[in-house]
């Protein structure tokens, strides 16, 4: 397994790409409301990324593969859609939905990747709790992303928190290394045991991304588009993701939810 240790100048470039992802998600956050069309969100995101010197990382990914490339800038996954949901002119957000928006950027030769799950209008307390616990599990995983720990320490922290609240961890979909390629070794599962897997070293950069189901953990892939991953029981799923560099004491987050959370805070006040 060829895991690349990043130099500080490379980490700075990944941070720049990751911050553009965060700003893009902030632009999307301004538009999240009942009645909004998901294809419109995708177009806004693509324009914002290109206007700021980046290229949408997901669009036409993967190239040169037998798999049909993903045709959009954003993965927009609504309710029981776990990840890789496709924007569509026929898909409008509705009151009470939860929607995961996953975004990637390529800029200056390096990738950034982050995802956030939004509440659309007023959502049920059950769905609010799912969002809160999934987000908490991400940050608990990041706390374990320090040199000398193991991938399993990150994975176990995420799994324990989610399952202790009665939720299920999606096992087939995992986080990943990131740098000059969107997906690099190592894989970062959201389930596992402490002190297992590869040892984490300073300078590794990984995308940590819990995918947590309200119901059972089983998933299926849509027969319609071949991309959208859904919870098999039709129950809602939440997904949060940060790009993180391994440091001595704890993981340093290179992406940002600040732009999203400032929009959400403004909406609460208003």
Q: pTM of this prediction? A: 0.97
Q: How many CB atoms lie within 10 A of CB 144?
A: 21
Token pair for 122: 């007023």
Instruction: Name the nearest CA neighbour of 254 among 176, 156, 162, 142.
Output: 142
Token pair for 209: 């991304």
Q: pLDDT digits over 60-96, tens only?
A: 999 777 778 999 999 999 999 999 999 999 999 999 9
Q: Whats the size of the chain, residue-wise?
A: 270
Q: pLDDT digits over 141-200, tens only?
A: 999 999 999 999 999 999 999 999 999 999 999 999 999 999 999 999 999 999 999 999
Compute CA distances 17 → 91, 121, 205, 212, whole Å: 29, 30, 13, 26
- Helix (H) or strand (E) holding 249, with range, is none
User: Where do runs of H (alpha helix) occur along 105-210?
Assistant: 125-143, 151-164
Token pair for 20: 């553009």
Q: How many CB atoms lie within 10 A of CB 189?
A: 22
Check: CB of residue 24 under 8 Å from CB of residue 50.
Answer: no
Q: How many CB atoms lie within 10 A of CB 50?
A: 12
Sort 90 into a burial class: Cβ within 10 Å, 0-12 / 13-18 / 19+: exposed
Check: CB of residue 15 under 8 Å from CB of residue 254.
Answer: yes
Compute CA distances 83 → 100, 171, 212, 236, 241, whole Å: 7, 13, 11, 11, 11
Q: pLDDT digits over 41-67, tens only?
A: 999 999 999 999 999 999 999 977 777
Check: CB of residue 167 under 8 Å from CB of residue 153.
Answer: no
Token pair for 260: 């999203």
Q: Domains of the chain (ranges plus CATH)? A: 8-269 (3.90.230.10)
């Amino acid at each position: 397994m060829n895991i690349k240790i990043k130099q500080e100048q490379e980490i700075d470039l990944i941070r720049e790409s990751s911050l553009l992802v965060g700003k893009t998600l902030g632009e999307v956050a301004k538009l999240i409301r009942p009645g909004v069309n998901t294809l419109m969100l995708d177009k806004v995101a693509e324009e914002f990324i290109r206007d700021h010197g980046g290229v949408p990382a997901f669009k036409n990914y993967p190239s040169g593969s037998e798999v049909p490339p993903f045709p959009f800038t954003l993965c927009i996954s609504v309710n029981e859609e776990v990840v890789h949901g496709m924007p569509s002119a026929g898909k409008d957000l509705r009151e009470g939905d939860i929607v995961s928006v996953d975004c990637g950027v390529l800029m200056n030769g390096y990738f950034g990747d982050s995802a956030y799950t939004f509440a659309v209008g007023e959502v049920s307390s059950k769905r609010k709790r799912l969002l809160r616990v999934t987000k908490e599990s991400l940050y608990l995983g990041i706390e374990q992303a320090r040199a000398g720990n193991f991938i399993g320490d990150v994975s176990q922290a995420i799994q324990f928190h989610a399952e202790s609240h009665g939720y299920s961890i999606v096992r087939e979909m995992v986080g990943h290394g990131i740098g000059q390629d969107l997906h690099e070794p190592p894989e970062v599962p959201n389930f596992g045991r402490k002190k297992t897997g590869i040892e984490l070293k300073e300078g590794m950069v990984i995308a940590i991304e819990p995918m947590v189901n309200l119901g059972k953990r089983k998933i299926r892939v849509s027969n319609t588009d071949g991309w959208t991953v859904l919870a098999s029981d039709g129950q809602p799923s939440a997904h949060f993701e940060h790009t993180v560099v391994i440091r001595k004491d704890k993981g340093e987050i290179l992406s940002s939810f600040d732009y999203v959370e400032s929009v959400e805070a403004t909406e609460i006040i208003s």
